[in-house]
A and B are shown apart, each in its own frame.
Chain A
Amino acid sequence: MRDSSAVFGYAIDNWNLREEWIYHYHPSLQLKMRNLKMRVHTASPALAILLLAAVFVVQTQAASVEPLGLGEPGTLEFVSIETGRTVDGVLTLAGRDASQQLLISGKFSSGQIRNLNPIATYHVHPAGILNVDSTGWVTPVTEGQATIEAETAGGIKASVVVRVTDLITDIPVNFPNEVVPVFTKYGCNSGGCHGKSGGQNGFALALLGFEPTEDFEHLVNELRGRRLFPGSPDRSLLLLKASGGLPHGGGARFDMDSPPYRMIRRWIEQGMPYGNEEDPVVTHIEAFPKERLMPRDGKQQLLVIAHYSDGSTRDVTRVTQFDSNEEDMGTVSQTGMVSTGKMTGTVAVMMRYQSHVDVFRGTVPLGVKVDKLPPSNGYIDDLVFKKLIELGLPPSEASTDGTFLRRLTIDIAGRLPSQQETEQFLVDQDASKRKRAIDRLLASSDYADYFANKWGAVLRNKRATNTRKMHTYGFHDWIQRSMHDNKPYDQFVREVITASGDSQFNPPVNWYNEVKDQSAQLEDTAQLFLGLRIQCAKCHHHPFEKWSQDDYYGFAAFFSRVGRKPSPTDSNRSRIFHRRGVASANNPKTGKKIMPTGLGATAIEIPVDEDPRQQLADWMSRHDNPFFARALVNRYWKHFFSRGLVDPEDDMRVTNPASNPELLDALAADFIESNFDLKHLVRTIANSKTYQLSATPNDYNENDRQNFSRYYPQRLKAEVLLDSIDVLTATPTQFAGLPSGTRAVQLPDNAFDSYFLTVFGRPESASACECERTGDANLAQHLLLLNSKEIQAKLGSGRSAQLADDKRDHAAKIRDLYRTALSREPEPEEIAIASAHIDKNLPNVKAAYEDVIWALVNTKEFLFNH
């Protein structure tokens, strides 16, 4: 309470400042309202009432101008019932446990399709054959045929014929197909419970049900069968625990007499059959719908159909596990009902049934008219703008010249533009000056330095001992030259993964010096070059992906003939060679021998004399490889936009879809078309109007994090920031053993001691993950920038001394500082503030300039690329 008045005052100030945009922007208004209401609690009651009244007024005014969203649907014209498996107008429900989710969709005069499950009511003729509950979930009662009629708004109806069969002759329950998915759906076999290694309280299930035979063993045979009781199924420990009849650490997971309960009960009743080998298995699952435009606070029922190897289908909606990838955007219930919130954008809902996955994407438009788009400069803009129009999300303005030049020079060359570059660019009147700047920077060795720094970290160019120096330097030099010569990317990768010999003569061999064992080699290759994290599949089926252990070991087989012997000149290193023989790897679980297999491809037999790694490189660089080009363009997209189209950039999977899939496809196609030309890719991205948008949000896109409607600022990387401070203070950092003038981005490896670089998140090059580099802010960074001897030493010499001796007027000198630090002219007000500070400190001009430079270094405008 002690500073309530101050807090209150702040609220009012802010209020006035932002009044204008409050009226325009509802989502943010909501946040403000909460803030205001919260603050009210800290103010006096009288003030509180006053303020509440004000809140009310603004809220009602704002509501009238809330952006349209999806917009009014118009009148309902047509209603349909989807089941995903209706054949010739008839839906068949076979067996006692069969069920079916109905999906009721309405087509409106506006062209919109909306889900009508929440409002539909159902009539069944004749009655008694089946039940339909209020959510549109159908369960059989007795054999026969009936018609379900769904009635919606205005009496508009649709119907479907349902035939119920196989109730009298009981179909045996299939354990892997029916029982195991229940464990997954209700979290029994999750990593936190019985699915963890060793199980929970003595009862173990295979993680996420990927090993049904093991589960069967544990349930039926372990503990002399006391978990199941065929004589009285309801007294089985499994059902008593799961339904809360006996104390259970995980609580009651489902009710007695719920569908999973009844199914498991029937399975026990039948004597716990496992199922036959010939029984059909699930080949894939299919979601209905796959995509939909949704209103704010909207609902969409999902429907999941499993397809079996015998061509049959089954509704598995109620035994599918659903997960939303952005809970802020939208949530999903256990029964597959998606609910959107207030935010604009796309929510992906993952569905998992057994080892199969599918995804639904619901998009909530903001609904503002997007009429001021910059002229498109190619397919990137076409596809980004298409999405923005679809969302009704207007992009920010184009960036100013100074901002653009600074952004571009940092992103391509890893440094600030020089004062001279800035001055020339600002006065240049040529319409193509941005394009020329891009070409100039790409041709410079600074581009190669900066990207060598990026690749060096993820290629793990790590110096373990000083004797390795020659090799890490050599590898860095090789990467730098590859970037400078614009070596085609497929060639670059091939030279790394097929590297043989001694790293003294063939630098990429150094990768094998650091990435030592077979699993590290294949995991790094998958993560770094294919954007796939297949580590999970080493021990069990990948939880979110189709990768099985066979896939993992098939991929591992490519590295099975990597030979290694000590280098004659340095015992710390190895020479790499191809060990003649048949390439294969063993799946440790099945003992099966697996031939080299690209991910999702077919196995290949490789002659004993051929190095399988060449075949791997061939497979990766094939134009139809679905991962290789996508992974790279996504990695580079993230470099420039600070968020990948798929994010994290090295975790690409069906269940982590791209925010703009068409754009990812187009970038990949263009990259392949250009013969894996990295500079072409950079040029294409940098020339897009999307990349050149301002970072400053307009009234609508402040919350946008995935659609690139503005440039997302990112903090300068550790090395770039140190170099920039060096330039601004005119005090270059000297690195031990390197020529003076060597910049931090040019360091050949990461073994140079620097508290500054470490604190700002320089990676240790210990893994293939870009996440090793942290751009996060922390306290140590700001203590360093605000108050360290290191920075004070830089401030105290160099630039401040030069400026103190410089006889020009202060305004001219302040202008120099702004052009160098921020690549722009200072505002008159800024010159006035800085000049006033200098005057105040007369005669100690040098100290005053130290202060001004210190302040500039600590502004977010300096610390961030924006």
Chain B
Amino acid sequence: MFKILKYSFYDLARSRWSYIYFLFYLVLALVLLFLNHDLSKAVITLMNVIIVLVPLIGTIFGVMYYYNSREFTELLLAQPIKRNSIFLGQYLGISISLSLSLFLGIGIPFALYGLFNSAAIWDFSLLLITGVFLTFIFVALAFNISLRNENKIKGFGYAVLLWLFLAVIYDGIFLMSLILFEDYPLDKLSLAGTMLNPVDLSRTLILLKLDISALLGYTGAVFKQFFGTNLGLFISLAVLFLWTIVPTFSILRKARRKDF
């Protein structure tokens, strides 16, 4: 598996797209820092951008990589290598290289602006952790979609749709249902709704850091326990982890049965 990982990673490390992705984050971070002169404010803006963009880029990259490397995958399949190793290796290769682009792209400008001597370093670490989680989750989801769709166009379509759904539409439905059922106790429902969407989950992690004073304004006891203690942080991280693990297993399960 590590050999496959190594080669996928090298392959991507040399691809134009990794650099574009890296440069995009570099420029974004530089512009934000240039405009704000304030690390913590730039971190906040970046957070808003990252929870939407990282999933999009992860999805598109995942799908693109899968379809582009199909023949290569077939070449590997004829070698004495386990299927699990091939797909896990490719999945980790792309996730790690994307995470690295993100990490360096926003890490370098912030480090130059004196991140390490700033109080924003914790928020920034959280931002990176969230970004890495989202990358892994959405690449895994993209692999699942492409494994199930031979047609490249279809696969792309589903992937973008999935992103659109989780990043925007889901919250719309979520909001509507909360307003519709406002006469009932909703705190459990609203937390459950958050857990079911990795984008919302990452957003919650960010809320815990930035908007805790607003979150504590709500009366529900479950809410209070969730947001008022470290419970919320741990549960969110645990569920994000689950969101990474489950699609990964799904990749392996599907790959084991698929014909090439």
Do these two chains really belong together in a complex? no
